[in-house]
Amino acid sequence: MRRETRRTGVFTRRALLMMGGQAAVLGGLAAKLYEVQVVEGGRYATLANENRISARMIAPPRGRILDRFGKPVAGSRINWRALLISERATDVKATLEAFSRIVPLTEYERTRIDREIHKRRRFIPVMVREFLSWQDMAAIEVNAPDLPGILVDVGTTRIYAYGEHLAHVVGYVAPPNEGDVINDPLLALPGLRIGRAGMEKYHDLSLRGRPGAVQLEVNAVGRVIRELDRQEGVQGDDVGLSIDAGLQQAVVGLLGDESASAVVMDCLNGEVLAMATNPGFDPTLFNSGVSQAQWAEWTRDRRTPLINKATSGLYAPGSTFKMAVALAGLEAKAITVNDRVDCPGFLDLGDTRFHCWRKGGHGGVDLRSGLKNSCDVYFYEVARRTGIDKVAAMANRLGLGTELELDLPGQRTGLIPTREWRMAQGKVWNIGDTIVSGIGQGYMQVTPLQLATYTARLASGRQVQPHLTRSLAGVLQPGSLPEDWPALDMPEKALRAVREGMWAVVNEQGGTAPLAKLADPKVQMAGKTGSAQVRRVSREMRESGTFDSAKLPWEYRPHALFTAFAPYDAPRYAIAVVIEHGNAGAAAAAPLVRDIMTEVLLRDPANRTEPPAAKLAAAKP
Amino acid sequence: MMERRLWREASFDLTGKILRINWLYVLLLCGLAAVGYTALYSAAGGSAEPYAGRHLVRFCIGLTLMLCVALIDIRTIQRLSWVAYAVGVGLLIAVMRMGHVGKGAQRWIEIGGLQLQPSELMKIALVLALASWFHRASWERMGNPLFLIPPIVATLVPVGLILKEPNLGTAVIAAIVGGAVFFGAGVRWWKFVLVALPVPFAAKFAYEHLHDYQRARIDTFLHPESDPLGAGYNILQSKIALGSGGMWGKGYLQGTQGHLDFLPEKQTDFIFTMIGEEFGWVGTVATIGLLSLIVLGGMLIAIRCRNQFGRLVAMGISVNFFMYVFVNIAMVMGAIPVGGVPLPLISHGGSAMLTVMLGFGILMSVHVHRDTEFEAAGDDR
């Protein structure tokens, strides 16, 4: 029995020991739970709430783009879309088959839909087709019982009231690409578009608006249980342009089929009233992706429809540059207004002979007649006396070959050559280069917008910068008033002499652009022609006597330029026109500018707060 | 001697046996099942279907089973110990050849529509076999190392088989339960130390030979936040649920984590988390208290028992239950690596419930026959 007692004793001791251990361990669990639940409870409670509540953004409606009179040029239109929630479809394939019988789906679309269905979770809608017509939508609704899982949803799409007439200015929107989404996850919101070009791009952030948010209670797989809170998004700001949409349309109409661009500016404040580029493109095509055939068509077209020629087309200014040379000469005191230069039809410099466009020459020429006749020899001589660097500095001050403070992406700077520029190329500047620069040829390249700015500055004597934004969210932007712009630091006398020369070009007997004369005798326009060679004209060609640039193939013909301002006695509007390969400025561009100016003066957008009545708009010459 | 003889006669009286059942203990088990019903009702989103109702039915079946087993003579159970052991090992071998693997670990076989996990049965059979081996051994005999070799082999065979399933958690529990019986039987302290010493090295060796999913469990246990949506997800979400319960809980049926499906397997392995989220620390401590009463009550039954076989069996079963509780609770709060161990009588699951109630039946049989003497007392070998 003693053995039994000993065994019992050992067992009891050890069992009690074990119970102590078990109690300690369970107590330890309780203590650890105290730490997790009570001490750190707050932290975990926050985590639990984050788990439970998922904030989702709602794409805000994009702001509109308006013209100067408040007419919408870019807005949003309701877009009916068919979505598929695969979870609700008993048989996705059958549903899509049935859908195809109502609205045919292409093979390409089917692959895209299949891919998205596999990629997403079953309760997330996949877009089957957007931009449904009213008929399609009705058909889908009627056949809803045969289309389990399909639902029709309303979104928005961008529409452009003036389409290709204003495409280069307004730009376009497109779905964001993956790179955009990485930088700003907000862009992943379905239906959100971002500005890819033009004002849509420049003002993208203002136009986008503030997204709304819904707070949703979701479960672990992300299925929405219920909506807890909803804040609607704030529509993007409206952007008011300085463009007069009616005028813009008229100008595009006047450009006709030419590959050309025209800029109409307010001389006093730099507002761009019309910026027309031909040919245009349909900006809505970018909304849902451009087809390959369309791209091919655009890139094949030698008239480059996608390029905004007004800001990125580069042309030698030709004779329109002569005002800058004259002002440089006056400022450098290389000439006076009345100094005469004899033009025998050429200027010899060493072995090289530089021709005047008029074979017989102009005889004695002063500044006024030099501009009026566009005498090349006079300006060769002025440029030679002044020196290229001073000419270039003057051109830059007037807005040529410099970057303008333009609120439109994609402008090009162009080039006014200097000695320094030539040296940077590892070459030496020759005096011959200066001579050629005197008539705006050679290395020189400017944009039509620069030409318009240059003309506006000459006409108003103010350092205006071209701009397209007049108001943001209804607030007039600085720069809309003439007082916002400082005067050019130039003697009024010199400017007046140049303007007088430009007046003579149009209005005086023997001027180079009589065709530009306005019909209304009370209002006079001043201007300057220009032709920019795209190919060097050899001496043989010139001296053969039968040379006629109009007979060249289209792409070798010189560009036709004309810049003008009106009214002469109180300048308000500046116009620059470049017709690609239009041959001669006087013949091709001058009458066009006359027509545009007539239209501008009729509409008089700078002095109006409302668009002209239909009667006035119809009263075109 | 007279009294004892009298008891021997009375031991065959059914009414007497029923009266000797520890009804307080049965009440505790019912209480635990009620906690399970409550939690499962919430896990189903406030509905008796599909978990709570079935849980109740199973518990009633289990309770009946337990009471029936409780009335079986402890000596009969002892005689059948090695038979049970042999059947257990046979099932383990069978399950390796034709069993189903679920969730990467638990293996079961189907017998008459019932999913049976042989490893769970094996633990009880092992306890019976070891107790049967030791119940006649005197203190002196326990000192003989050669005497310990057969029970050690008897323990290592099923543990090895369970490891090969592979089911690391259950294998470790089986080894610990076996060890507890050795301890209770009076194996000398230093021998345990001798066995424990190489464990760290064995663990390192084992880690290198673990299956990837097992290693991932240990890795995510060590750094659960490193992969919040991957393997660490369960632990993290479980801790979030527990922690957000706070002191008093979010209220019954108000647990967001569980009801919004952030909590994985909330009706089985993570049912304790559900309780913690809705009833707070107060709820979890109350549940642990109830579980402790059952564990310690089982140990008291062991101490109270006057035959060595009964003592060792009661201890083994209590330790087995304790291990369930410890592993499950420590797991849901991220204190040990996740392993598919349910919380007995609370988690949803049929075969586990029956195995546990079978164990309690045997425990209760020990209690009913606490004064029963085997024919020859003492060391007769």
- Closest-CA residue in chain B for A224? B260
Strand, helix or coil for residue A387: coil
CA distance B325 to chain A (A): 9
- Name the strands in the sheet holding B114-116, side by side, starting at the edge strand that comes first in the sequence: B100-101, B107-111, B114-116
* B326 has a chain A CB within 8 A of its CB: yes
- Which residue in A33, A43, A46, A223 has the most chain B C-beta atoms within 10 A of its own C-beta, making it the best mutation to test that interface? A33
CA atoms within 13 A on the CB side of A107: 0
* Whether residue B376 has pLDDT greater than 70: no
Q: Which residues of B touch A32 (CB under 8 A)?
A: 333, 335
Q: Is B62 on the interface with A (CB under 8 A)?
A: no
Neighbours of A198 (CB within 10 A): 25
Catalytic, out of A76, A319, A374, A480: A319
Q: What would the pLDDT profile of A125-161 be if each residue is shown by its tens digit? A: 777 887 888 888 888 888 888 888 787 777 778 889 8
The answer on pLDDT for B104 being more than 50 is no
Cα(B291)–Cα(B321) distance, rounded to whole angstroms?
A: 9
Place of tokens 């040529």: A400
B311 touches chain A (CB under 8 A): yes
pLDDT tens readout for residues B9-32: 445 678 888 888 999 999 999 999
Q: Write down the mean pLDDT value for chain A.
A: 85
Report the first-to-last Cα separation within chain A, whole angstroms. 136
Q: How many CB atoms lie within 10 A of CB A589?
A: 34
b/e sequence A553-580, b meaning 16+ C-beta within 10 Å? eeeebbbbbbbbbbbbeebbbbbbbbbb
Please enumerate residues of A whose Cβ is less than 8 A from a Cβ of B.
1, 3-4, 6-8, 10-12, 14-16, 18-19, 22-23, 25-26, 29-30, 32-34, 36-38, 40-45, 47-49, 51-52, 217-221, 225
Q: How confident is the model at residue B107 (pLDDT cuts 50, 70, 90)?
A: low
Q: What is the mean pLDDT of residues A412-430?
A: 91
B185-226 pLDDT, tens digit per residue, is 988 888 888 888 887 887 777 777 777 777 776 666 555 555
**Helix, strand, coil percent content, chain B, rounded in steps of 5:** 70, 5, 30
Going along chain A from its start, the domains and CATH numbers come out as: 51-71+161-241 (3.90.1310.10), 77-157 (3.30.1390), 245-279+309-618 (3.40.710.10)
Region label for B104, one of left (φ > 0), alpha (ψ between -120 and 50) or beta (otherwise): left
Task: Find chain B residues with C-beta within 8 A of A219's C-beta.
Answer: 260-262
**Interface subset of B 338-377, CB within 8 angstroms of A:** 377
Question: Which residues in chain B are closer than 8 Å to A218, comparing Cβ atoms?
Answer: 260
B260 Cβ partners below 8 Å, 6+ apart? Answer: A51, A52, A217, A218, A219, A220, A225
| Interface residue of B259, B303, B323 to substitute, partner A, most A CBs within 10 Å | B303
Task: Tell me how far apart the alpha carbons of residues A59 and A235 are, in angstroms, rounded to a whole number.
Answer: 9
**Which range, A150-164, A211-225, A327-341, has the best average confidence (pLDDT)?**
A327-341
Domain-wise residue ranges, chain B: 2-368
Asked if A445 contacts A425 with a C-beta cutoff of 8 angstroms, the reply is: no
Instruction: Render pLDDT for B316-349 as a digit per residue (tens, 0 to 9).
Output: 999 999 999 999 999 888 877 656 678 999 998 7
Listed in sequence order, the DSSP H helices in A334-480 are 367-373, 376-386, 388-397, 419-424, 431-437, 448-460
Q: Is A288 a catalytic residue?
A: no
Would you state the pLDDT for residue A422?
A: 92
Q: What is the pLDDT of residues A160-207, one digit of tens each?
A: 988 889 999 999 888 777 677 667 766 666 667 888 889 999 999 888
Look at B242 and A37 and tell me if their CB atoms are within 8 Å.
yes
pLDDT the model gives residue A617: 47
CA nearest to B310, candidates A17, A10, A8, A23: A8
Considering only the beta carbons, identify the residue of A10, A22, A47 that sits closest to B139.
A10
Q: Looking at the predicted structure, is the pLDDT value of residue B66 above 60?
A: yes
Average pLDDT of the residues of chain B: 83
Closest to B312 in 3D by CA, of B178, B199, B203: B178
The verdict on B303 touching A (C-beta cutoff 8 Å) is yes
Q: Are A175 and A130 in contact (CB under 8 A)?
A: no
- Residues B188 and B296: their CA atoms lie apart, in Å, by 24
Shortest CA gap B232–chain A (Å): 15
Q: What is the pLDDT of residues A48-78, one digit of tens each?
A: 776 666 666 677 888 999 999 989 999 888 7
Q: Nearest-CA distance from B224 to chain A in Å?
A: 15
